[in-house]
Amino acid sequence: MILHNIVGVLLAGGESRRFGQPKAFAKFKELTFWEHSYDAMKNITDRQLIISHPALVERFRDDSLCQVFTDNEEVKGKGPLAGIYTAMEIENAEWFVVLSCDIPYINEKTIQTLLDLRHQNVKAVIPNIKGKLHPLIGVYHKSILSIISKQLENHEHKMISLLEKIAVLYVSENDIDVDLKSFSNINSQKDYLQLGIDENKTDY
């Protein structure tokens, strides 16, 4: 199996209940949300893959050039942690860039900045922006796979529980020179409306 240095993982396995429709395919600046996440990682990772909700697999495969998977059967439906586990089982890489599909302001500079902060004593680089953790805009080392596996076996599905078990470099807004809007999540239709207002757009 080929060893890659960095693999990009787009997580799109959620049901978008609060949003009312699949967030991944909402539009912003003529691109879908998932395309913004994909564009932020595609030039700085060796390979990319999408971990999709089963209902969206064919739609992603029609629109995407990268491979699309669903959660491994044994961890199916166990949240983002299951998606990361699945990606690490599929790809033989040292590092994984993990992005959600509800961060339309994300960009390559932000991801490259996080990658540049990696060093041998940490297993993850995670933004902590204005006191809010962003584990789904993160960089993770392959060596944590066994910890994720054990956590899922124990029915611990929270990302925060994982971060408490590994060596994490937390990066604040004072540590990086990037647009902090990169870390804005769109969770509801109200957020989406505000996104359009902020960009003076009426075609969303």
Whether residue 149 contacts residue 163, with contact meaning beta carbons closer than 8 Å, is answered with: no
> Counting Cβ atoms within 10 Å, is residue 105 exposed (0-12), middle (13-18) or buried (19+)?
buried
Q: Is 55 annotated as a binding residue?
A: no
Place of tokens 């961060």: 103
Q: Is 20 annotated as a binding residue?
A: no
Nearest CA among 38, 64, 139 for reference residue 97: 139
Place of tokens 């998606």: 83
Q: Is 23 annotated as a binding residue?
A: yes
Dihedral over Cα of 67, 140, 98, 107: its sign? negative
Q: Which two tokens stand for residue 141?
A: 């080392």
Nearest-angstrom CA–CA distance, 136 and 24: 14
CA distance between the termini of the chain? 43
Q: Is 198 annotated as a binding residue?
A: no
Nearest-angstrom CA–CA distance, 183 and 74: 31
3-state secondary structure of 146: helix
Known binding-site residues for Mg(2+) equal 102
Q: Which residues are annotated as a binding site for GTP?
A: 11-13, 23, 71, 102
Residues at the binding site are: 11-13, 23, 71, 102
